[in-house]
Structure 1
C-alpha cells in the first residue's frame, strides 16, 4: 500500500501516531516551524530561538519539576514516543515509512502534547526494521541524546531507556488498536517489528520485552515530579526514598 500524501491511515491510531503534512492546508505552519535538525544542532545564542530549550522549559513549567533535567527526560520521552509511533504506524499499516529526515520534519516545540510534528515532503522508504532503525534511531534519537547529554548532563542509560520505553509503548498501543479493530495481521506485524528492533545494540539492554509488556532497566526520573509516582514499566518497585509500605500512582 503506497503512502498517501496526508498519511490518512494514521489518524485512527491517535495523537501519538498522527503526522501532519503540508497537504493539511495552505495555512500549514511548516515553514515557520524549525526543523528537528535545528533542535539537534549547537545551542542557540538566543535561548528563545532554541527549540530544544523551549520544549524543556515548557515541560518544566507544566510539571513544576525540582530540576530541569527531569523535564529534559520527560520531553525526550515524549518526542521519542512520537517518532517511534509515526514510523511504526506507517510500517505496519502501509508497509512503508516516510523519510523522516530531521531537515524535513518540523517541530512546534511550544505546542501541546503529544508533540506537534509536520513533514514538509512525503518521500516513501521501505518499512523494514533496518530502515526504521536508520530513520528513527540513527537519524533522530542519537543526535537528540547527544544534545540533551551536552545541555542537561543526562545519563546515556536513562536516555536509551527512554527510547526503549517509548518504542514498547508505541508497539503496545498499535497492537491494542489492531486487536480492537480485528486487524490481527497488523498486530502480528507490530510485535514482529518490535522484536527485530529490540535486537539493536542500543535497545537490547534497555529492558525486557515480553509480548508487548516492557520492564525497563533505568528510570526516567518521573517519580521526582510532584505527585508523579512510578511509570508502568519502571525499574523500581516503589519510588526511591519512599517507605516500603507507600503506594504510588
Structure 2
C-alpha cells in the first residue's frame, strides 16, 4: 500500500467491479508495448489511424441501419467514435477520483489499448501517472489538471478535423461523464454522494461550460446532440435519453 492506496492490482479489481467501461490495467512506462497491446498515442499521432476508426464506425452504423456507407455522414460517425473513446478513457479516471481522490490528467502517451470497435476495449494506464497521487480525499483540484485535460483535449482537436463542432464534442464529454457517474453510483450506492460531487466539479470546468443543463424533472440534458439519430434512414433515428432535441 502506498500513500493509503492499495497495490495497483487491487485497484484494477475494484475498477473492474464498477463495470466494463471502468476496467483498467496498469503498466510500467519503461516496459515495451507487446501485442495484443498497442500505444493509444498511435490513434492521435499516426496519419490515418483515426480516419480508419471513424470509417469502421461509419460502416457499423450503416450496416446496422441497412444502408450504404455513403448514407451515413462522416461527421456523424466521427462524433459517435469520439463519444465511445472518451467514455472508455474517462470512466476509469473518474473511478480513481471517486474511489481514491486521485487528481490528474492522462495523455494519450500514458495509455495502451487493444483496438476494437467496441467501446469497452481493454485499456492500460501508465502506473507512474497514478502511483503516489491518490489520497482518498475529494478536493477542488490540483495543479496537474483534471481528467478532462490531456488525452480528452487531444481527441477533441483531432475529431474537430472531421467536421464535428467542438460544442458537440464537449457535449460528448459531458454525456460520457454523466454516464460514468450513474454507472458508478449504481455499482456502489454508498459512493453516490461522492460521485455526484466529483461529477459536479468536472461539469463546472470552463471547457464544459454551456454543454450541460437539467430538465424540469432534474435529469441531465446536454445542450447539443451527438448526431447519432442522423445515422438512421432519412436521418430519423431515435434520440438519446439526454439529447437536447428531446
Both proteins in one fold, TM over 0.5: yes
- Name the residue aligned to 2:20: 15
Q: Deviations over 1:1-57 (max 9, x none)?
A: 41422321112111111112349xxxx99434443333223x52xx3xx2x223212
Say if 2:150 is the partner of 1:144.
no
Kept in 2, the 8 Å contact 1:40–1:147? The answer is yes
Question: Aligned equivalents of 1:80 and 1:63: distance in 2?
Answer: 19
- Name the residue aligned to 2:178: 168
- Given candidates 3, 8, 28, the residue that maps to 1:5 is 8
SS of the counterpart of 2:88?
helix
Q: Deviations over 1:152-191 (max 9, x none)?
A: 1110111011111111111111122222xxx2xx111110
Say if 2:83 is the partner of 1:74.
no
Question: Aligned equivalents of 2:112 and 2:55: distance in 1?
Answer: 19
Question: Aligned equivalents of 1:14 and 1:198: distance in 2?
Answer: 22
Say if 2:48 is the partner of 1:39.
no
Question: Aligned equivalents of 1:87 and 1:215: distance in 2?
Answer: 22
SS of the counterpart of 2:8?
coil
Question: Aligned equivalents of 1:212 and 1:20: distance in 2?
Answer: 35
- Name the residue aligned to 1:121: 127
Q: Quote the offset at 1:59 in angstroms.
A: 1.3
Say if 2:243 is the partner of 1:234.
yes
5+ residue gaps in structure 2? 63-68
CA shift in 2, pair 1:128/1:107, >3 Å? farther
TM-score normalised to structure 1 length: 0.77
- Where relative contact order (Cα < 8 A, 6+ residues apart) is larger, the structure is 2
Query: What is the total number of aligned residue pairs between the two structures?
Result: 221
Kept in 2, the 8 Å contact 1:129–1:197? The answer is no
- Name the residue aligned to 1:134: 145
- Name the residue aligned to 1:192: 197
Question: Aligned equivalents of 2:230 and 2:97: distance in 1?
Answer: 35
SS of the counterpart of 2:213?
strand
CA shift in 2, pair 1:111/1:225, >3 Å? closer
Q: Deviations over 1:189-247 (max 9, x none)?
A: 1101111111111113101157983101111001112274100000112xxxxxxxxxx
Q: Quote the offset at 1:135 in angstroms.
A: 4.6
Say if 2:231 is the partner of 1:225.
yes
- Given candidates 146, 162, 168, the residue that maps to 1:158 is 168
Question: Aligned equivalents of 1:212 and 1:236: distance in 2?
Answer: 16
5+ residue gaps in structure 1? 238-249
SS of the counterpart of 1:130?
coil
